[in-house]
Amino acid sequence: MDDEGQSLDDTVVRPRPGQASPPSGTAFDDTVIRLIEPAAPRRADALPTDPLIAGSALAEAESTGGADESPTVTAWGMRVRGTAMVVPLDLPAVVGRRPGPVRPSEHPAPRRVVIPADRGDVSARHARIEQVGESLVVTDLGSTNGVVVHWSSGASRRLRSRESCAVLSDTIIVLGDGVEIEFVSVPVSTTPSPSEPS
């Protein structure tokens, strides 16, 4: 509590200097700040993230004899619309016309996704796209022409320079003036990598 008896956890919205103050006794509605976009309808291949839904899916698996199977995270990949190549997101991906060599601050080392040089509206290092757990994260790497996130429902959002945003799998990411990136689920390899003991 502060000296005036208000909780310091509350957000207080005050009129800007020069704005007319509302008449005394006017009730203010609470200000709601959303850090995550509203849940959108998911594709059939998306993994439920609501603990209640995930819990009921696990209970259903147990009742059908799948109790010994551990829940898995869906693996995602990205694809530039109009192409057939899917880039798996088991490592981050840096997208641009000239993504350049791996930088010392980049851990783990990302894949480089090169957009043709004739797309002048795409910066050399335009965006970073990665899967973090069950989340897909898009970061504007200081691009000139921006990164726009198109949700499956609701308004689209342009990211600020160096801003990151968690997105749903049915979101379309637009780089510059028209390079569209979509997400697709990819099969999870059951073959151990060379660094894993078999």
pLDDT in tens, 172-197: 999 987 899 999 999 876 545 454 44
- In the predicted model, is pLDDT for residue 159 greater than 90? yes
pTM of the prediction? 0.59
CB 123 within 8 A of CB 97: yes
Q: What is the pLDDT of residues 60-117, one digit of tens each?
A: 545 555 444 555 778 999 999 988 899 999 999 999 998 888 888 877 889 999 988 7
CB 138 within 8 A of CB 144: no
Average pLDDT estimate for 136-147: 95
Q: Hunting for tokens 């078999």 — which residue is that?
A: 198
| CA–CA dist 119, 125 (Å, integer) | 13
At residue 189, the pLDDT reads 63
Q: Hunting for tokens 């320079």 — which residue is that?
A: 161
At residue 158, the pLDDT reads 95
Tokens describing residue 100: 């350049």
Q: Which domains does the chain have, with CATH numbers?
A: 75-185 (2.60.200.20)
At residue 102, the pLDDT reads 80
- In the predicted model, is pLDDT for residue 119 greater than 80? yes
At residue 123, the pLDDT reads 93
| CA–CA dist 179, 24 (Å, integer) | 52
- Residue of 34, 49, 33 lying closest to 168 (CA atoms): 49
At residue 104, the pLDDT reads 83
Tokens describing residue 82: 């109009």
- In the predicted model, is pLDDT for residue 33 greater than 70? no
- In the predicted model, is pLDDT for residue 168 greater than 60? yes
CB 115 within 8 A of CB 175: yes
Could you give the percent of the chain with pLDDT greater than 70?
A: 59
- In the predicted model, is pLDDT for residue 166 greater than 70? yes
